[in-house]
Amino acid sequence: MRNSTVQLKYGRLKIGGGAPVAVQSMLNTPSGDVEAACAQINSLASLGCELVRVAVPDPAAARALRDIAGRSPLPVVADIHFDPCLAVLAAENGASGLRLNPGNIAGREKLRKVVDAAKAHRLPIRIGANSGSLPPELKSLPLPQALLAAASNQVKMLESLHFHDIKVSLKSSSVLATIAACRAWAQMSSYPLHLGVTEAGGILAGAVKSGLGIGTLLMEGLGDTLRISLTAPPQEEVKAAWHLLRACGLRRRGVEIISCPTCGRTHIDLPALAEAVERELALVSKPLTVAVMGCVVNGPGEAGHADVGIAGGAGKGVLFVKGQVVASMAENQLLEALIREVKKLENSLP
Amino acid sequence: MRNSTVQLKYGRLKIGGGAPVAVQSMLNTPSGDVEAACAQINSLASLGCELVRVAVPDPAAARALRDIAGRSPLPVVADIHFDPCLAVLAAENGASGLRLNPGNIAGREKLRKVVDAAKAHRLPIRIGANSGSLPPELKSLPLPQALLAAASNQVKMLESLHFHDIKVSLKSSSVLATIAACRAWAQMSSYPLHLGVTEAGGILAGAVKSGLGIGTLLMEGLGDTLRISLTAPPQEEVKAAWHLLRACGLRRRGVEIISCPTCGRTHIDLPALAEAVERELALVSKPLTVAVMGCVVNGPGEAGHADVGIAGGAGKGVLFVKGQVVASMAENQLLEALIREVKKLENSLP
């Protein structure tokens, strides 16, 4: 049972209020570079990203939004720090939403500027509290309380300005603090909640920490949207988000690869083969389960629930469909045969 | 509060009964290759692995255990499928424990052989139920129930043979099934529980799924030992396990890297820098927090809780200690300065 929240609209994308948990990422292209931004947005969209955030550090970046947002298939949210005028400019230039950090846009008058622009352009505002950039007066509190207070103070200020299209996030690099803050927030608010563990590290550490932190919250019914923050290309963030949503049983998209860990019984370079399969099938959007197994004898049975699979070792291998071997072949033909079978299956699905 | 279990000994390593949650991995070197096995065990041990499993598919592999286990700084567990004689041979050749799959060593007489060897050599046995290789008669049950029944039937058989040094695992490639099975098992048994999500995929998918699945169980107080199964070099499994234990607040070891996700404000190749830092500090075992930030202005403050950090961008950068900038330098000197500072700190710790 998902926690009940009100619904916001970012362009055509609905967030909260029973909408599917939405996948976000953030561009890392040089700010103001329209071509690079558009290319990255298209790449992220092809992997299932549903909303992108763009840093807007200066007026040029805000003005570049006109072309970026105009050409983007996804809603584009402007990430604003320090200067409310950048929020105004971003709103005028086609942003679908704004994100403020309560640690660096304080004060009712600054916020009023942002709110006026958001109201004029019907944009939601995310209050994104972040353990690394808390308002100075809150830094002595325990982390979860500090995050709660930072978000809560700014939400109250927006409400006092009669603004309610609010989304909230409470992120820490501490997974435990993130979980505690989000749980407490959800108890007292029905604004949609964006989930993330911040500064989580590279792919391995970031995926583990986000799987634990965001996953724990999702499994409790919390969260309307998420970003898995990785110090890595944003495409990896989107892939990781889908792995997580799928593992939680919340949404399915694209290929789930079932592959055994390597062991002393494996006579094939399984990591390389699994990586190649993942790469070749990255753009398949229909939900399929594909197995890449290291053992011709046990593989097809162990991965009997997979839609399609290959198992190989010692030069030869088999292609199997729903646990039944349909062809035997040389090891170096496995990849191609698998791709062909997946494409066939993909085309047969509605 | 950790779930209370009885304690087992694998050589000097204690598992269960209040011992720290132990980190496992599995060798992927060619079976029987003693030199390769020893080198990989040493590499895994240097990263914090505490127990290694080795596939024993034939008598030669079992006999190779004499040298492998003899030279190993870690307890070595023999992974046995189908043939109980391999378990006997492994026990005679220095294994510190045995792992059986209930899907392929069935029958009281086969088990009696294994139990006799385990008793003679005082070895614990892990019953490792796995969704991919369930006993045929259980395959029609829902996955969690099938895993429970597979483990439970074999545990009862061991008990009827008066054997009680038992560890259990219930692994599925479905995270939800893994969680459900382990929760139910822990309700009814006090044997130590080994956690894992099997066939979880490559680094990104596997880390996400294991972070969610193993992490959820650890946070509920379940689990005495774990393996994060990845289709990747086993070193990555060990690193991932420590990331998870640290994020759960259960154990600390080595360097936690705090690094911001990249964004349009970043003027430095942060993923490459963070990766280099991770690589250079992989063998530091003392618990330290190291920040790698993309922004000279905000970085030191945002990562004020880190023991040491660097922040860079646009050709120059700073080194900071506990949030205070201690030196400015060219971007290409940052890595070296950071490593030097970490080593200094490492030497100053008890």
- The DSSP call for residue B250 is S
- List pLDDT tens digits, range B253-269: 999 998 877 666 777 78
The mean pLDDT of A200-204, rounded to a whole number, is 90
- Residue A1 in any domain: the answer is no
Asked if pLDDT for residue B287 goes beyond 80, the answer is yes
A123 and A234 in a single domain? The answer is: yes
A221 and A340 in a single domain? The answer is: no
The mean pLDDT of A83-89, rounded to a whole number, is 96
Decide if A101 touches B, using CB distance below 8 A. Answer: no
* Smallest CA–CA distance from B220 into chain A, residue: A216
- List pLDDT tens digits, range A263-296: 667 777 888 888 899 999 999 999 999 999 988 7
Cβ-Cβ pairs closer than 8 A, A with B, add up to 239
- Quick one: pLDDT at residue B252? 93
Domain membership of residue A308 as a residue range? 255-348
- Residue B3 in any domain: the answer is no
Measured from the Cβ of residue A156, the count of other Cβ atoms closer than 10 Å reads: 10
Question: Per mean pLDDT, which range of A286-295, B90-99, B121-130, B300-309 is the poorest?
Answer: B300-309
- Quick one: pLDDT at residue B323? 84
- List pLDDT tens digits, range B83-111: 999 999 999 999 999 999 987 887 889 99
Q: Report the residue from B231, B243, B258 with minimal CB separation from A270.
A: B231
Asked if pLDDT for residue A169 goes beyond 80, the answer is yes
Residues of chain B with Cβ-Cβ distance to A262 below 8 Å are 26, 28, 231-234
- List pLDDT tens digits, range A290-319: 999 988 777 887 788 899 999 987 788 999
Answer yes or no: do A216 and B215 touch at CB < 8 A: yes
Which of A235, A225, A248, A238 is CA-nearest to residue A171? A225
A175 and A260 in a single domain? The answer is: no
Decide if A31 touches B, using CB distance below 8 A. Answer: yes
CB distance B93 to B69 below 8 Å: yes
Residues of chain B with Cβ-Cβ distance to A226 below 8 Å are none
- Please state the domain count of chain B: 2
Helical residues (DSSP H) of chain A, grouped into ranges: 34-46, 59-71, 84-92, 108-121, 143-160, 175-188, 203-219, 234-247, 270-280, 299-302, 334-348
Average of per-residue pLDDT values in chain B = 93
pLDDT classification of B78: cutoffs 50, 70, 90 = very high
Measured from the Cβ of residue A188, the count of other Cβ atoms closer than 10 Å reads: 8
Residue that terminates a domain, selected from B247, B269, B297: B247
Decide if B278 touches A, using CB distance below 8 A. Answer: yes
Decide if B266 touches A, using CB distance below 8 A. Answer: yes
Token pair listed for B344: 């200094």
Asked if pLDDT for residue A223 goes beyond 70, the answer is yes
- Residue A2 in any domain: the answer is no
A194 and A304 in a single domain? The answer is: no
Q: Which of B262, B277, B320 to mutate to test the interface with A (most CBs of A within 10 A)?
A: B262
- Quick one: pLDDT at residue B105? 82
Average of per-residue pLDDT values in chain A = 93
A200 and A263 in a single domain? The answer is: no
Return the SS3 of A26.
strand
Residues of chain B with Cβ-Cβ distance to A264 below 8 Å are 27-31, 54-55, 57, 61
- Residue B174 in any domain: the answer is yes
The sign of the CA dihedral A266, A269, A272, A274 is negative
Answer yes or no: do A265 and B55 touch at CB < 8 A: yes
Decide if B302 touches A, using CB distance below 8 A. Answer: yes
A176 and A317 in a single domain? The answer is: no
pLDDT classification of A30: cutoffs 50, 70, 90 = very high
Q: Which residues pair with A110 in a beta bridge?
A: none
- Residue B222 in any domain: the answer is yes
B172 and B317 in a single domain? The answer is: no
Decide if B30 touches A, using CB distance below 8 A. Answer: yes
CB distance B281 to B252 below 8 Å: no
- List pLDDT tens digits, range A330-345: 989 999 999 999 999 9
CB distance A40 to A27 below 8 Å: yes
Asked whether the ipTM of the predicted complex exceeds the cut of 0.90, the reply is yes
Chain centre to alpha carbon of residue A260: 26
The mean pLDDT of B180-187, rounded to a whole number, is 97
Which CATH number does the domain housing residue A294 bear?
3.30.413.10
B212 and B265 in a single domain? The answer is: no
- Quick one: pLDDT at residue A132? 82
Residues of chain B with Cβ-Cβ distance to A130 below 8 Å are 302
Residue that terminates a domain, selected from B193, B227, B247: B247
A198 and A343 in a single domain? The answer is: no
Answer yes or no: do B248 and A176 touch at CB < 8 A: yes
- Quick one: pLDDT at residue B312? 86
A169 and A131 in a single domain? The answer is: yes
- Residue A57 in any domain: the answer is yes
B292 and B343 in a single domain? The answer is: yes
* Smallest CA–CA distance from B33 into chain A, residue: A264
Token pair listed for A112: 């009023």
Residue that terminates a domain, selected from A247, A274, A290: A247
- Quick one: pLDDT at residue A128? 96
Judged on CB neighbours under 10 Å (0-12, 13-18, 19+), A104 is middle
Which CATH number does the domain housing residue B31 bear?
3.20.20.20
- Quick one: pLDDT at residue A264? 67
Decide if A94 touches B, using CB distance below 8 A. Answer: no
- The DSSP call for residue A2 is P
Asked if pLDDT for residue B8 goes beyond 90, the answer is yes
Residues 49-88 of B with CB under 8 A from A: 54-55, 57, 61, 79
- List pLDDT tens digits, range B236-257: 999 999 999 999 999 999 999 9
The mean pLDDT of A213-232, rounded to a whole number, is 97
CB distance A151 to A168 below 8 Å: yes
The mean pLDDT of B191-195, rounded to a whole number, is 98
- Quick one: pLDDT at residue B93? 98
Asked if pLDDT for residue B30 goes beyond 70, the answer is yes
- Residue B2 in any domain: the answer is no
Output helix, strand, coil percentages for chain A, rounded to the nearest 5.
Answer: 45, 20, 35
Residues of chain B with Cβ-Cβ distance to A213 below 8 Å are 247
Which of A230, A212, A236, A335 is CA-nearest to residue A281? A335
Which of A249, A248, A239, A226 is CA-nearest to residue A283? A239
B154 and B185 in a single domain? The answer is: yes
Q: Report the residue from B202, B248, B261 with minimal CB separation from A275.
A: B202
- Residue B29 in any domain: the answer is yes
Chain B nearest-CA distance from A48, in A, is 15
Which of B145, B129, B226, B130 is CA-nearest to residue A212? B226
Residues of chain B with Cβ-Cβ distance to A133 below 8 Å are 298, 301-302
pLDDT over 90 for what percent of chain A? 78
Decide if A107 touches B, using CB distance below 8 A. Answer: no
